[in-house]
Amino acid sequence: MQEALGLAHTAPFKTREESGWRVAWEAAGYAEDATALSGGAFFDFSSWACLRLTGPDAWDFLNRLSTLNFKSWDPARTRLGAFLTGRSGVVSLGFFQSNGKDSFRLWVGPEQKAALAEHIEKMHFAEKLECTDCSADWALFAVKGFDPGSVAAHWPDPRVSGLEWVVLPRTQAEASMQHWRDQGHPLVGERLYEYLRMQVGLPRVGRELAAQTMLLEAGLEDAVDRGKGCYPGQEVIERIFTYGQVNRKLVRVKWSGSLNPESLPLTFERDGKTAAVLVAADINPGAANAGIGLAFVGKQFWNPGEAFESPGLELVVA
């Protein structure tokens, strides 16, 4: 079991196992972490995987296989993108960034690492490129409410306002974390990040998403560039954009009442048929009987304010 870097320098906390890693789930406590974040704090995502694609055919390979357009790629930007199955199911979702000439880095959660490496290997034929695991060289963090200082790379989160993703060489990571703490910006736990991403409707592969989930069912329109060349799943994506809607979509919901997140998924019915399936949820920090979540909801029930009920629990589309 590997440990995220921040665990060696934090006061007593709750931890959680994530795909072979032990990470800080709560640092000072869930509500206390939320208070700390409002004044400036950081998340430790050093458990995340970084794969590097290098070679003269790397950009063409990514253009043909991913949802992003690399023919008009801006090397100064980092983008949220995906690899899909032929039916537009989500194989992997993460950050794509340039790393010099003919070199790109792909950042994904630890639960996606093996599937992403396998997918690249399966789709790699005669191209002049190499895929290497550089997770041991780089560490990923996210900061909110303060300037992280001189870092190797950083970019704003595409959905969570004020959150900045930061890449550091692992050899410099401990010194940077100590500097942040000395400036009054503590480490906060990943439980709080999970709450933040649910607030903005961002799912994760291996949690709410699987290869059977279509990209547009997951509400990931911002992870696909339209008008580019063909890639796996592109025909399905364009057909949905052009001619209609998916029959269900992952949407943000608010809930109130009594809910044990460990009991998910939870199905809500209308007229004897499935209308919504709650797949992720947590309480509001500092609250006891209300929170946010993600649910797959049938298209006739997408409107904000649509409510679903089960004994002791109400779900409302946000």
CATH number of 161's domain? 3.30.1360.120
Is the pLDDT at 215 greater than 80, yes or no?
Answer: yes
Residue 233 covered by a domain: no
The pLDDT of residue 306 is 95
Domain that holds residue 253: 248-318
Look at residues 79, 101, 133 and tell me which one is the last residue of a structural domain: 133
Q: Could you tell me if 160 and 279 lie in one domain?
A: no
Which residue in 200, 195, 98, 207 sits closest to 157, CA to CA?
Answer: 200
Look at residues 199, 216, 237 and tell me which one is the last residue of a structural domain: 199
pLDDT grade for 301, boundaries at 50, 70 and 90: very high
Over residues 81-102, mean pLDDT: 94
CATH number of the domain enclosing 126: 3.30.70.1400
Q: Could you tell me if 64 and 128 lie in one domain?
A: yes
Q: Could you tell me if 127 and 58 lie in one domain?
A: yes
Over residues 196-222, mean pLDDT: 93
Look at residues 133, 158, 188 and tell me which one is the last residue of a structural domain: 133
* pLDDT tens digits along 248-258: 999 999 999 99
Domain count, the chain: 3
Q: Which residue has the higher pLDDT, 228 or 184?
A: 184
DSSP for 190-250 reads HHHHHHHHHHTT---BTTTB-TTSBGGGGT-GGG--TT----TTHHHHHHHHHH---SEEE
Which residue in 253, 265, 251 sits closest to 299, CA to CA?
Answer: 251
Residue 281 covered by a domain: yes
* pLDDT tens digits along 281-298: 999 998 889 999 999 999
Lowest mean pLDDT among 9-18, 100-109, 206-215, 249-258: 9-18
Q: Could you tell me if 155 and 17 lie in one domain?
A: yes
Q: Could you tell me if 70 and 166 lie in one domain?
A: no
For residue 273, the tally of other CB atoms under 10 A from its CB is 7
